[in-house]
Structure 1
Amino acid sequence: MDKPELVASDVDGTLLDPMQQITERTARVIARVLAADTPFVLVSGRPPRWIPGVAEMAGLSGYAVCANGASVYDIGADEVLAVREMPAMRLHDVVEAVAAALPDIRVAAERTTVGREQEEPFATERGFRNPWGNPKGETDEPDIVSRAEVLGRPATKLLLRHPGLTSQQMVEVVETVLVDVDLEVTYSSNNGLIEISAAGVTKASGLGWVCDLLDVPARKVVAFGDMPNDLPMLEWAGHGVAMDNAHPEVLAVADEVTAPNSEDGVAQVLERWF
């Protein structure tokens, strides 16, 4: 493609190296992207509260698409600009149906609201374990409540965890159980965790919201990713790039495969233009 007008990148397994850091090479090319007045947008399954640390390492203060497209966060203003959520009744119905097939699941919910203040942004029932460690941040403890309380408020993302299955196995069961329910089911780790969002909410829809705001067409976007939750974004963007360490489904749809995140794969592509 020609020089892109916007760069969009997944975070974990893509922009960050295996030590969860931004390498010097990647930081340098991000700085050149920004110096060329080209927006660099983080597009992640992470909630907004997990973005500032990455943004600081990368030198970013623009926009981040969070929770697989369910929210858009202004990094510099520390403010959530847009949210797409599921009502509490839908959460109850989904969990009831899935629990009938997978009785050992544990549930958690991300709750994001428009604005700067985020009250009780994450709730989990006892026994839920996040593959990425403490689910509320590096120092805070999560809100451990009953399942009824987890599901008692609207949520931007419903998380289901099963100790004995891979995420792919969970998806196969859940898609059968929820065959007539219009929702987005995906995963960003294969460690027995799936992520459910409202119908039409994907990384592509969230990134599309940002691109409309910035007046950048999809064909002028280069996007990077590695897991199934990145599929809609890579297919939507003008040039979708998969990391060499990506999931096979992502490798199959990408316009290009770059080096793994352990070898600055994002930087290797961006250095063509910046």
Structure 2
Amino acid sequence: MSGVNKPALVASDVDGTLLDPKVRVSERTARAVRAVADDTPFVLVTGRPPRWVPQVVDELGVAGIAVCSNGAVVYDAAADRVLHSAEMEPRLLRDAARELRAALPGCTFAVERSTRRARDDVADQFLAEASFHRTWPNRSIRVVEEEELFGRPAVKLMVLDEERPGTDLSSEVQDVLGARLCLTCSMGGGPVELSSPGVHKGSGLAAVVDALGVRRDEVIGFGDMPNDIPMLDWVGHGVAMRNAHPGVLEIADEITTCNGQDGVALVLERWWRSS
């Protein structure tokens, strides 16, 4: 990357990329990000919903715009305000779930809903069937019946099957739904994640970059999982972590060290030296 100009915007995935294996921001990475943010937009681009962003922002010491829920939500972390959300309507959610249940007996569902602020009541944001919660226990989940689960628009539909890990389930879900929803996985063994057609990390970041008046070829992005591929494909220079999924390593312009060795900071320090 020696011939690449200083980026005009930096975009980074969170888990497995910016955060270390203990799910924390290291001192070195925090310093590097703060140095970037002093003169250049720094954008978090994550599969996490907005409610999980404030903790990361607090550790970084930088509060800016975050692209959340795999591109479906644009969130202003400084103002704690959702600026935009791309939602799936109840009918689409119900139809997708019905077809998947018929084709893949044993699959179970959860949804993420958008709210105005990250700190709004979490009980209204993450809802799931009891069998989903049993398979993937999470304190944030509120267990509900199907009628309530699909009764309102959602930014993300998640699918789990006890017999199949997420990456194995993906191809089968894709076979059933085709291009009607955008499919990805953000964690090994986690759920398959579905968004509105054309909604992914690349589309969410593109909207932010356009609003800021930055050119696509001036953007550098970092990631490690399949949900990062649309972003790394879209940016001018895509950097994969050494610990990344094979598909991410294959399409990246550059491979840095792993997230446990400050791989993001190592690249950013070429242009931004922290004191």
Q: TM-score, normalised by structure 2?
A: 0.93
1:209 CA displacement? 1.3
Residue 51 of structure 2 contacts residue 118 of structure 2 at CA under 8 Å; is this kept in 1? no
Hey, what's the Cα distance between the residues in 1 that align with 2:243 and 2:18? 12
Alpha-carbon separation, structure 2, partners of 1:54 and 1:130: 27
Identity %: 50
* 1:87 is aligned to 2:89: yes
Structure 1 stretch 5-14 or stretch 124-133: which is displaced more? 124-133
Specify every segment of 5 or more residues in structure 2 that has no aligned partner in the other structure, as ranges: none
Aligned in 2, Cα 1:132/1:53: closer, same or farther, shift over 3 Å? Answer: farther
- Per-residue CA deviations over 1:25-62 (Å, capped at 9, x if unaligned) read 10111111112x10111000000001000011011211
Structure 1 distance, partners of 2:260, 2:118, is: 34
In 2, the alpha carbon distance for the partners of 1:121 and 1:111 equals 5
The aligned counterpart of 2:7 is 4
Q: Aligned to 2:127, which of 116, 123, 130?
A: 123
Matched residues in 1 for 2:75 and 2:169: separation? 29
Which aligned runs of 4 or more in structure 1 are off by greater than 4 angstroms? 114-119, 130-133
Q: What is aligned with 1:139?
A: none
3-state DSSP of counterpart to 1:199? coil
Structure 2 residue 95 is matched with structure 1 residue 97: no
Determine the structure 2 residue equivalent to 1:76: 78
Amino acid at match of 2:194: I
Residue by residue over 1:214-268, the C-alpha shift from the partner in whole angstroms, topping out at 9 and shown as x without a partner, is 1111111100000000000000000000001100110010000110001000011
**2:146 corresponds to:** 147
Seen in structure 2, the aligned counterparts of structure 1 residues 32 and 130 have a Cα distance that, compared at 3 Å, is: farther
- Letter in structure 2 aligned against 1:198: S
Give the whole-Å Cα distance in 1 for the aligned partners of 2:66 and 2:139.
19
Structure 2 equivalent of residue 170 of structure 1: 169
Confirm or deny that 1:24 pairs with 2:32.
Answer: no
Q: Would you say the 8 A contact 2:240–2:256 is kept in 1?
A: yes
Question: What is the CA RMSD across the aligned residues, in angstroms?
Answer: 1.6
Structure 1 residue 148, shift from structure 2 partner? 2.2
Mark the runs of 5 or more structure 1 residues left unpaired by the alignment.
137-141
Secondary structure of residue in 2 paired with 1:108: strand
Choose which of 251, 257, 260 in structure 1 pairs with 2:258.
260
User: Comparing 66-75 with 104-113, which one deviates more in the overlay?
Assistant: 104-113
TM normalised by structure 1 equals 0.93
Question: May I ask how many residue pairs the two structures share in their alignment?
Answer: 267
2:98 is paired with a residue whose SS is helix
